[in-house]
Amino acid sequence: MARKKIIAGNWKMNMTPSQAVELVNTLKPLVANDDVDVVFCVPAIDIVPVVEAAKGSNIQVGAENMYFEEKGAYTGEISAPMLVDAGVKYVILGHSERRDYFKEDDALLNKKVKKAFEAGLTPILCCGETLEQREMGIAVDFIRTQIKSDLVGVSADQVKTMVIAYEPIWAIGTGKTATTEQAEEICKAVRDCIAEVYDQATADAVRVQYGGSVNAGNAAELFAQPDIDGGLVGGASLKPDFGDIVNYKK
Ligand code: PGA
């Protein structure tokens, strides 16, 4: 069965609540395309107004992070049940900015992934190598280690429903996109890793995105690759260009 493309915006730390509503209203008609899943991953404070503004549209809302505990004395954190109750469907976990600036490691991410599934959220799990790792020739090894560690104890049925985003760190926010060949090579390696740890049916079902300077000009070629099931889009998700990315086929 063909995998449905999933194109997700990652707003990062941009947009105040009122700006967020304005952006959703601007983008709503531009991203109206039922052939792909369209997700807006937004800052926590924007979730409630964005869910409201997106009502009646094809836009699904995602969070950019969450904590693995249900509730309690974890000042400043947000739990999976809180996200679900607010209308969130997806959650980005393990973005390289979280791994780097906030020191999130694979052991922590494994807890977050399991909690997301338990709560009924779909994780968008990020992986990706540094430029140094790529130049050393260990990009694939590194990504395989991330995926295997982050998915310990996660079942094949769960993996089938999730999204894995391959985002080379050197391509994020730099304007440097991986070449189509580089992106496809690693997205295929992600799928092969899933086939190895689980089975071919799971690997055929999991959706693998490419992320890192995706824009209206390169989306069509990237998304045409056999193992690239869409994109995780940062900078270009804050502009009308996001509509062109979602409609990359037209
Ligand atoms: P970018 O960010 O599209 O601005 O490179 C992608 C991401 O970090 O998810």
Ligand 1 pocket check for 235: Cβ under 6 Å: yes
- The ligand 1 atom at the shortest distance from the C-alpha of residue 211 is 6
Burial class of residue 129, CB neighbours in 10 A (0-12, 13-18, 19+) = buried
The atom number, within ligand 1, closest to the CA of 232 reads: 9
Question: Would you say the CB of residue 176 lies under 6 angstroms from ligand 1?
Answer: no
Tokens of 31: 């991203």
Residue 9, SS3 per DSSP:
strand
Q: Is 129 a catalytic residue?
A: no
pLDDT digits (tens, 9 = 90+) for 226-241: 999 999 999 999 999 9
Which residue CA neighbors atom 3 of ligand 1 most closely?
A: 234
Q: How far apart are CA 227 and CA 14, in angstroms?
A: 30
Instruction: Please identify which of the residues 64, 97, 104, 167 carries the catalytic annotation.
Output: 167
Spacing, Cα 159 to ligand 1 middle (Å): 23
Please give the number of the atom of ligand 1 that sits closest to the Cα of 96: 8
Q: What is the pLDDT of residue 1?
A: 65
- Ligand 1 centroid vs 235 CA: distance in angstroms? 6
DSSP structure class, residue 88: -
Could you give the CA distance from residue 96 to residue 240 in angstroms, rounded to a whole number? Answer: 25
- SS3 at position 93: strand
Question: Which residue has its alpha carbon closest to ligand 1 atom 1?
Answer: 234
pLDDT for position 86: 98
Residue 88 CA to residue 79 CA, distance in Å, equals: 11
Q: How many whole angstroms from 114 Cα to the centroid of ligand 1?
A: 25
* Of residues 126, 119, 22, the one with CA closest to residue 64: 126
> If you count them, how many residues does the chain have?
250
With a 6 Å cutoff on the Cβ, whether 172 touches ligand 1 is yes
Structure tokens at 176: 């440097």
Which residues partner with 163 through β-bridges?
124, 207
Task: State pTM to two decimals.
Answer: 0.97
Contact 62, 8 (CB under 8 A): yes
Question: Is 167 one of the catalytic residues?
Answer: yes
Question: Which residue's alpha carbon is at the smallest distance from atom 9 of ligand 1?
Answer: 234
Q: Which residues of the chain have pLDDT under 70?
A: 1
Structure tokens at 108: 């922590």
What are the structural domains, with CATH classification, of the chain? 6-246 (3.20.20.70)
What SS3 class is residue 247?
A: coil
